[in-house]
Amino acid sequence: MTHHILIPIADIDAEALPRDRTQLDPEAMAELTTSIATSGLRQPIEVWQLSQPTEIHRYGLISGLRRLTAHQRLADLRQNGTFTEIAAFIRTPDSIPQAMADMVAENEIRAEISPWEKGATLLAATREGIFDTLDAATQTLHASASRQKRARLRAFAEVVEDLEDAIATPERLTGRQMHRLSAALRAGLSELMHHTLRDHRRSALPAQWQALLPILSESLDEPAEDATATQPGRPRRILHLKQGLTIRREKSGDSWIMRFSGPETRSGALMDDIMDHIERYFQPK
């Protein structure tokens, strides 16, 4: 039987691995903290002994971020020396990638990780050099997943890579929403999405999503439906012109909207000129 030991929480580096949980639900954390304060820790955390300990940390956290965080909060609150140690199993993973795989597997069982967080974990592991590619990260961290599920997870990582810092509270995106964003990226709509999100950078996620819907709807269309799809440089979705004028097209049901923005659009004069040009184009005298 594997036995746990008590470890000072100050000796544990919670960031030794890229975490697959970027947000801790306040209500759930409050419940867990109260439970630990009242009844103690029910399940030890898992750590491994760092091969190169730092001046501060001797162990790296594998699983149990929420439990460790609760202990840290209680230690800070009590200020009497209690909760400064935590029960932990000492694991000996073969490698850092294996430690990450153990973390992901444990969290898949204990609590749902958002699609965005799953993609962010794969991206962080690749950026930090733990894995050479997203494919390698996905294969190792989700070895038991089906090929289709691994493809979805890799697509989530690509969404995070393209849209990080552009979307408000992205961990609240559902799997379906992440799929739609991925489809839009594959359709070449990244620039259009970024331009739209810049216009709504101070908005909450629901408002941002509503603004993106026309673009996402376009990504669902079959390429064959667009007669210009096979022509080089077509379809043209966004134009950046002089004096800050930007024109972008949006799908709206069976119709299209041309959206103009920039200093030149502050008065209606530009719109009058454009309508005159359109009238001459379709109804020449």
What are the tens digits of pLDDT across the range 111-154?
A: 678 899 999 999 999 998 989 999 999 999 998 889 999 999 99
Asked if 41 contacts 86 with a C-beta cutoff of 8 angstroms, the reply is yes
* Among the listed residues 49, 77, 45, 47, the one whose alpha carbon sits nearest the alpha carbon of residue 61: 47
What topology is assigned to 1-94+106-111 in CATH?
A: 3.90.1530
Band (pLDDT 50/70/90 cuts) for residue 225 is: very low
> Comparing 79-93, 225-239, 251-265, which segment has the lowest mean pLDDT?
225-239
Q: How far apart are CA 88 and CA 43, in angstroms?
A: 9
Banded model confidence at residue 187, pLDDT cuts 50, 70, 90: confident
What distance in Å separates the CA atoms of residue 139 and residue 126, rounded to the nearest whole number?
12
More confident site: 164 or 262: 164
pLDDT score of 164 more than 50: yes
If residue 191 lies in a helix (H) or strand (E), which one and from where to where?
helix 190-199
Cβ count near 222 (within 10 Å) = 7
What b-and-e string marks burial along 25-44, b requiring 16 or more CB atoms within 10 Å of the CB? eeeeeeebbeebbeeebeeb
Cα distances (angstroms) measured from residue 74 to each of 34, 88, 93, 115: 9, 17, 29, 30
